[in-house]
Amino acid sequence: MPSLLLYGSYGYVGNLIAREAVDRGLDVTLAGHDREQLEKQVRELDRPALRFDLSDPVAVAGALDGFDCVLNCAGPFSDTALPLVEGCLETGTDYVDVTGEIPVIERVREYDREATDAGVTLLPSVGFSSIPMDCLAAHLVDRLPEATHLTLGVDSVRVPSIGSLKTVIEGAETESNVYEDGRLERIEPTERTRTIDFGRGERPGVAMPLGDVSSAHYTTGIPNVEVYAHVPRPARAALRVYPRLEGLLARPRVKAALKRVAGTVREGPSERARERGEVFVWGEARDEDGGERAASRLRTPDAYVVTVQGSLNAAERVLAGEADSGYWTPAGAFGPEFVFDVEGASGFFDDPTASTARRTAASR
């Protein structure tokens, strides 16, 4: 049976993924740097574990050697992704992660040629960011192949896990990002807002630095991409004052203090909350002059449910040899229908105006 190494297996998200992997009967080995946490998890799940330090390339390569694939669940991924990617390239191990960090996705892509030469698959961002919006983006470009602009949006109010909070803190100095004319550009928080009907009425959206900005750009080849999220009013107010605090929040000591505070926050949403959660995803593609437009929606279970199922669905497909070597996005590797491998995901719900755009495009 193909073997899977799960790095960061004892974090909130990692533990959910580890339990699901065991339930699926996968040959999974737990991994991380915290001996105490690993020992506790080994007792609970009756699975083997490896402890190693990502700062030691020799130790990383030694740990990865012999595994078919590593699934990285340990954020901030700015700290963990590249050491594992480089270890995978050395050992011929495929790499999958659940990052939503734009800089990490961009850096992993820089290893595309090296991964192709090594016969290694690199597949970052196979959690909630970016599976639903990436698959929706691929669906939209299928409907409107001449699209030059892509706008995506998500409506989900969810208590973040400790790992998610620490990832946000780590990237506190990063402004919102968009693709413009094929280049990644930086914009100020709240610089771009719009009202979006995500599928349950119109709501205010704010352009956000979500990983889908990069993954959707590479999946579709569309040069202009922006991603919006429904942000409640208090959070919008916080975003507006953020630029005044940016220098303070970027200081290492302040970051460290905020991470300690994050560690006191409830670990993550309860099982009942995850079961009841629902997410609404929207997307719009248009041509250069806006004369033709295609819009569609998706509905998925809770974001954590998507991350758990989606990451293991991707890892299983990689283990089965269904992804080519080199760098891939979720929809790039498995197509727009990949999102429906997640139980409870539904769509695509196409806007009626999109049908007109598709017929017009097809008639050319």
Listed by start position, the domains of the chain span: 3-128+305-335, 131-303+341-362
What pTM, to 2 d.p., does this model score? 0.86
3-state secondary structure of 195: strand
As a CATH number, domain 3-128+305-335 is 3.40.50.720
Report the pLDDT value the prediction gives residue 270, as an integer from 0 to 100. Answer: 78
The mean pLDDT value for 120-133 works out to 96
Annotate 55-69 with b (16+ C-beta within 10 A) or e (fewer).
eeeebbbebbeebbb
Decide which of 274 and 128 is more confident. 128
Residue 114 has which token pair? 């090296």
- Residue 232 pLDDT grade (very low, low, confident, very high; cuts 50, 70, 90): low
Report the pLDDT value the prediction gives residue 247, as an integer from 0 to 100. Answer: 52
Give the DSSP letter of residue 341.
G
Cis status, amide bond into 124, omega within 30 of 0: no
Neighbour-count burial of 274, counting CB atoms closer than 10 A to its CB (0-12 exposed, 13-18 middle, 19+ buried)? middle
Neighbour-count burial of 283, counting CB atoms closer than 10 A to its CB (0-12 exposed, 13-18 middle, 19+ buried)? buried
Report CA 295 to chain centroid distance, whole Å: 22
Report the pLDDT value the prediction gives residue 239, as an integer from 0 to 100. Answer: 47
Q: Phi/psi of residue 328, each to 5°?
A: -140, 155
Q: Which residue has the tokens 């949006």?
A: 153
Decide which of 325 and 233 is more confident. 325
Report CA 134 to chain centroid distance, whole Å: 9
Asked whether the predicted pLDDT for residue 234 surpasses 50, the reply is: no
Report the pLDDT value the prediction gives residue 233, as an integer from 0 to 100. Answer: 52
Neighbour-count burial of 193, counting CB atoms closer than 10 A to its CB (0-12 exposed, 13-18 middle, 19+ buried)? middle
pLDDT above 70 as % of the chain:
81
Return the minimum-mean-pLDDT range out of 7-16, 261-270, 330-339, 351-360: 351-360
For the packed helices 77-91 and 102-109, what is the interaxial angle rounded to 10 degrees?
20
Architecture of domain 131-303+341-362: 2-Layer Sandwich (3.30)
Cα 305–Cα 307–Cα 310 angle in degrees, nearest 5? 100
Asked whether the predicted pLDDT for residue 88 surpasses 80, the reply is: yes
Annotate 299-328 with b (16+ C-beta within 10 A) or e (fewer).
bbbbbbbbbbbbbbbbbbbbbeeebebbbb
Return the minimum-mean-pLDDT range out of 52-66, 87-101, 159-173, 270-284: 159-173
Q: Do the strands 121-123 and 193-197 form a parallel or antiparallel pair, or are they unpaired?
A: unpaired
| CA gap 70, 94 in Å, rounded | 6
Q: Could you read off the pLDDT of 283-324 as tens digits, one per residue?
A: 999 999 989 999 999 999 999 999 999 999 999 999 999 999
3-state secondary structure of 146: coil
Asked whether the predicted pLDDT for residue 242 surpasses 50, the reply is: no
- Residue 353 pLDDT grade (very low, low, confident, very high; cuts 50, 70, 90): low
Report the pLDDT value the prediction gives residue 94, as an integer from 0 to 100. Answer: 98
